[in-house]
Every structure is written in structure tokens, then in C-alpha cells.
Amino acid sequence: MDARIDDWNDLRLFLAVARAGTLSGAAREIGVNHSTVFRRIGAFEEALGVRLFDRLPNGYALTVAGEAMQESALRVEEEIAALDRRITGQDLRLSGVVRITTVDMLAQGLLPRHLLAFRRAYPGIEIELTVGNATLPCAVADLDPNLTRVAPLPESFTIDMWLLTHEDLRRTARIRVFMDFMAEALAREAPLLEGRQEKAADAETGTGVSLS
């Protein structure tokens, strides 16, 4: 094999096919059509002078050369992602996207009013929210007059909440201002989060929010 890999997009396409195992799956991942993936993978293999995939009736499988290529390509992908995070971490603009991952009880019961206030204060920052599952804590249930707590809080009850972000992003202006804003907002919600309300509900510990 006497060839050079000059285009990261070739490796990106290769990894998409390797992950999906089909041309159609890879096409969906990178946002191109099936025929484009077919043509570019063929051209990539021809340029390298080696077959990276076995064409099987049910999809594409890596050859031995393909497996070696995947190992190296994954390292390149991680280096590019890390570089992107480091560059993004130097961004001093109060604009752009903040991606939030949190549990459903916070997304539905506690965060909306604070996210609205944040957007009004910083209209240049767009919020993207991803939600997971959790049980129902007092921070949500105590706001609903139709729900009743079935057991008292234990005497030693505490609640932990984290605001987490990647180390490379913590100095990004929009991330920093969001974390400061939400830390102050959630601190004001301590009585609700700790279940210190006249009406009661179940309490949970260890909820959190992560940012990217």
C-alpha cells in the first residue's frame, strides 16, 4: 500500500460504515445519500490499494486491514474531538449553544422557569436539553396539590445536586455564565429540593445536570 490519507472526511466516512455495518446506516449518520457513501468508500479503498470491508448480503464487515484502520481512525477521531473541546474552551463570546443533560424530574418540574430566566438574561445563548429518567422527588411533587407524601423525611435527610461540565469547556464564557446562573438559582430552591414544605412527597438524592 503506497498511499496517503489526506482527508479527515474519508476516515469519518470509514468509521460511519464500520459502526453502522451498512451503507444506509452510515449515510444517515453523516447526512449524505446511500450512493455517495458507496462511491466514496470505493474510491477510498482504491486510493489506499487495500480492501477495508467485505461486502456481505447483510451489510459491510471489516477486513483485517479494516480493523487496523479502525483502531487508528478512532484515535484520530478522539484527538480531533479533544482539539475541538480545547478550542471551544477558549470561546469568550456569550453566544452559541449550551447542551444540557438532566433527569426528567428537573427538566419538567424545576428547570423550566430558570431556563426561561436565563434565556431572557442571555438571549444569544441557545439551550439544547436532553432528558433521562428518574423517580419523583419532593422538588416536583411538592408543587402539585394533588399529591401527598406517603412517609416523612428521615431526620438525616440530605440532597446532593451537581453541575458538571467537561474540563476543557469550563472556561468557555457561555458555560461559565450558565453554571453561575444556575448555581445561584438552584441555591434559592433549597427548601423545595430538601422537602421542607408544608405538603410532603417522596425525596430523592443525587440528581444532577451536565453541560457540554
Q: Which of 72-81, 93-102, 130-139, 152-161 has the highest mean pLDDT?
A: 72-81
Whether the Cβ atoms of residue 209 and residue 106 lie closer than 8 Å to each other: yes
Residue 90 has pLDDT above 80, yes or no: no
pLDDT classification of 203: cutoffs 50, 70, 90: very low
Residue 67 has pLDDT above 80, yes or no: yes
CATH architecture of the domain with residue range 96-211? 3-Layer(aba) Sandwich (3.40)
Determine the Cα–Cα distance for residues 102 and 8; give it in Å rounded to an integer.
33
| pLDDT of res. 175 | 80
Grid look-up 470561546 returns: 91
Backbone angles phi, psi at 211, to 5 degrees: -125, 150
| pLDDT of res. 173 | 79
Return the half-sphere exposure (C-beta side, CA atoms, 13 A cut-off) of residue 116.
6
pTM, entire model? 0.44
Which CATH number among 3.40.50.11540, 2.60.40.3140, 1.10.10.10, 3.40.50.2030 corresponds to the domain 8-88? 1.10.10.10
Residue 135 has pLDDT above 70, yes or no: no
Per-residue burial over 164-196, b if 16 or more Cβ lie within 10 Å, else e, is ebeebbeebbbbebbbebbeebbeeeeebbbbe
| pLDDT of res. 152 | 63
Amino acid letter, residue 164? L
Grid look-up 428521615 returns: 154
